[in-house]
Structure 1
Amino acid sequence: MLREEAGRRGLSPIQARFLVYLLHRPVELRRVGELAREFGLTPATASGAVDALQRKGLLVREEWPEDRRYVTLRLTGAGRSIAGELSGWSGAVREPLGELGGEEKEVLLGALLRLVASLQREGLVRARMCLSCRFFRPDAHPGRERPHHCALLDVPLAVRELRVDCPEHELHVQGGGG
């Protein structure tokens, strides 16, 4: 769906994905280098797509206010509008999810997180989520409402509090046995 909608708007699929990514990310992650890393592209390829989006008036490059050596990317009004429309498929999911009870949502979230973690281990997706983080301690507090634990923040976590895009994430590298 994204590919077809992007084509109708004169965007390549990666340009469309960049717009949606930038719409939902904090300013510190809105840099060409982050786009390249997130999407597994060379910096030159990411920069080329950003240049095209800038020429189309959908984003602008701005100096980072805290460190002028860095450049961040800001969506223009048109860019935000298109990004919002491109990510509009989520509305089709919201209604059925709204009909689920709290416990059902938590079970579904847990299952989806485990699925994404499995895809991540296979190298098919990139995610900065609790389940793949070296600080995550699953079931550290069994039988409690918040059974998991984040060793970085030193706080217990409920399933509903698990993150899928944490800026503090550090990938847990499993040892080779021994």
Structure 2
Amino acid sequence: MSTSLPMHGDKSVADHITIGLSKVAAALRSQAWEGGTARRLTPTQGQILALLAERAGEPVRLNQVAAELCMTAATASDAVATLEQKRLVTKSRSSDDHRALTIALTGAGRREAQRTMGWTDVVRAGVAGMTPDEQAVFLRGLTKIIRSLQEQGVISIARQCAGCTYFQPYVHADAAKPHHCGFVNKPMGEGQLRLDCPDFIPGSEAEQADRWRQFLDGSKGR
């Protein structure tokens, strides 16, 4: 009886997924450089503009920019200073802490942010080609990956459902919408999970751990 041997260079599914995510990241970097060169923006500057556009109406501090985009305070400060020189952002002292700087987009900055946010269209087109069920499974997987990155200290706290005090996983019998959002007081499905919600309020570490366990365990019976 013959014994099957592993092919040279065989990789696990986790390896293939990691490689795939790396290729997506490379594509995004390429688009950012290509889109930014003509407008004299670096990918870092474009990321900052996009972040400020996403947080429109919210005061965003300089240290938040650094934490959200996983960069050093010095890198964030230099990039923001350049954007200020280009009259795309303004800096002012925080109303509740005069030692802290808040960053806001100018009119030109808002227009530029819309262009930079278009850099992700190539990835969005690929995601749009997935079925709703595939998108929901993929979104759940991204939630887990982001949670792992938080636990490893690679990224700051993400404002995603699974860590929010309003989120109640698997409390409804409806398989299509098993979760509940206490903020809007409505049931929600896997495809409605958010990775960056403006209404996010973190619970205590114990509450987050318990909620995360429910989120993971609840799917096993479905």
TM-score normalised by length of structure 2: 0.60
Alignment-derived partner of residue 30 in structure 1: 60
> CA separation in 1, counterparts of 2:127 and 2:167?
27
1:163 corresponds to which of 171, 194, 210? 194
Q: How does 1:1-178 map to 2 (within 5 A)?
A: 1=30, 2-3=32-33, 5-6=35-36, 9-39=39-69, 46-61=76-91, 72-126=102-156, 127-151=158-182, 154-167=185-198, 168-170=200-202, 173=205, 174=209
What are structure 2's unaligned runs of at least 5 residues?
1-29, 211-222
Letter in 2 for 1:133: C
Kindly provide the CA deviation profile for residues 97-139 of structure 1, in whole angstroms up to 9, marking residues without a partner as x. Answer: 3333333322222222222222222222331101223443322
For residue 83 of structure 1, report the CA deviation from its aligned partner.
Answer: 2.7
Aligned partners of 1:128 and 1:171 also within 8 Å: no
> CA separation in 2, counterparts of 1:40 and 1:172?
23
Secondary structure of 2:58's aligned partner:
helix
Aligned partners of 1:130 and 1:169 also within 8 Å: no
> CA separation in 2, counterparts of 1:39 and 1:108?
22
Aligned residues: CA RMSD = 3.5
For residue 57 of structure 1, report the CA deviation from its aligned partner.
Answer: 1.6
Aligned partners of 2:90 and 2:104 also within 8 Å: yes
Larger radius of gyration: 2
Using the TM superposition, name which of 50-59 and 151-160 deviates more. Answer: 151-160
> CA separation in 2, counterparts of 1:31 and 1:79?
17
> CA separation in 2, counterparts of 1:90 and 1:21?
13
TM-score normalised by length of structure 1: 0.71
Secondary structure of 1:60's aligned partner:
strand
> CA separation in 2, counterparts of 1:47 and 1:164?
26
Q: How many residues align?
A: 174
Aligned partners of 1:114 and 1:131 also within 8 Å: no
Secondary structure of 1:73's aligned partner:
strand
Closer, same or farther: CA 62–96 of 1 in aligned 2, 3 Å: same
For residue 164 of structure 1, report the CA deviation from its aligned partner.
Answer: 1.4
> CA separation in 2, counterparts of 1:171 and 1:121?
15
